[in-house]
Amino acid sequence: MYPLITLGPLRLSSGGLLLLAAAYLWAWRVVQVARHRGGTTLAVHAKECTLPALFGAAIGGRLWAGLFSLDRYGPAPELFLAPQLTDLAWPGALLGGALVGWGCCRRRGANPWALADVAALSLPLALAVGGVGLLLSGEAFGLPTTLPWGVPLFGAVRHPTQLYGTLAALLIGALLSAAEYFASDDRPLAPGRLAARFLALHGLSLLLIEALRADSFTIADGVRATQIVGLALLLAGLHRLRARPAPTMPMPPVPID
Amino acid sequence: MLTLPALRRSTGNLLLLAVFFGGVLFIGVTRVQPLTSATSAPAPIDVAPAPEISHPAPPFTLHTPDGATVALADLRGRVVLINFWATWCPPCRAEMPAIQAAFAQYQPQGFTVLAVTAGEDAATVTAFLQAHDLHVPALLDTNGQVHATYFASTLPSSFFIDRRGVVRAIYKGPMSHSVITGTVAQLLAEQ
């Protein structure tokens, strides 16, 4: 899309602006959700770890894109540091952000699973906005299709894979919110259960939607790298879900006067 | 005797295994297929060699929207950015202002741009350039031959040619302003 704002070497397009909005939305939602679920302490921990996690996501996203585009990045390694909102691959961003966020939790003594649940509840909305941004910037586009909801892009009518991602994210968000809403007070969800559901559902969506993308990063024999990540997330989520939650401490007896 | 927890555990293991093998199968079936599967050796084609870094840029001659003829060979002695783009390509359009800025900045020092577009008519290209106040020289690759010669299947694709007519840098995808100006300044500094 057309550039809207020029800040030195950084040119923000409408798609780039929406990606920035998605990052901001996630950071804002994380603190809100953390306060709702764990009070001030969890909110403080969330606030402290949000920025490092976003930084890790940016590094991971660029590294992933660069390492799978060595024909461009090899001769010009300065591209790894190019201040542009393109060439940021989601699998790398997710892994980078999760890794840095986890490290931040450990360093600050926060419960990483509690914050992982918060991050999982906050991510779907940001992913949905980011999907629209990808559509506007023409990235992550789909294979040609004759389906009536195809979008004209790059000289062909294509699967709107970006919007598939948006719809999947909204569905995942609704399912996670429902799981949280219907968890009863006497059987609360153990820490990490929402994060595990997010991993499983998001992994499944990556596995399926990536199959319709026309610009996938591939490894040997045309295998799409993001599908490998999707399958790994799906298995990790299911593995975590089938693990028996740690027994909760019994409530202390209420003194009777 | 199989207890209930053990049964649950083994069922869970089986489910994970099924998901794993199902996922692997799905990934295999949906992997990126080669575009063509030739059953016999293709006939030789009469085209210029593919552009490679440190090799001479394949020559071409194209028309501008107003009908003038431009030949790459005539630009020997200048640093040339060949940018393959299209008016309907969002990343190309986002990149254009940075190319225009570099063109305006370095043109007096011997830099020029050839913005090559395929399958678009002169009126569309001219209207786009005027609407966005772009003054980079545009060329119409009417039959897509130059795109094919340069393997410009990704839009935008950019090729930097030095004063000797040698390809010095190739970028697939949009370039940042600093990448363009850095490359151009470096090539202009060479004699």
List the single residue in B with minimal CA-CA distance to A2: B94
The whole-angstrom distance between A41's CA and the closest CA on chain B is: 36
Q: What is the ipTM of this complex?
A: 0.81
Give this prediction's pTM.
0.66
Which of A9, A136, A242 has the CB atom closest to B178's CB atom?
Answer: A9
The string of pLDDT tens digits covering residues B34-74 is 654 444 555 555 545 668 888 899 999 999 999 999 999 99
Partners of A242 on chain B (C-beta within 8 Å) are 12, 15-16
Chain A interface mutation, best of B4, B13, B24, B31, highest count of A Cβ atoms under 10 Å: B31
Q: Would you identify the CATH topology of the domain B61-189?
A: Glutaredoxin (3.40.30)
pLDDT tens, per residue, chain B with 191 residues? 567 677 777 787 888 899 999 999 999 999 887 654 444 555 555 545 668 888 899 999 999 999 999 999 999 999 999 999 988 887 888 888 889 999 999 999 999 999 999 888 899 999 999 998 899 999 999 888 898 888 887 788 899 999 999 998 888 788 877 778 888 888 888 76
* Interface contact B87, partner A, CB < 8 A: no
B86 and A155: CB-CB below 8 Å?
yes
Give the contacts of B12 (CB within 8 A, at least 6 positions apart): A242
Are B23 and A231 within 8 A, CB to CB? Answer: yes
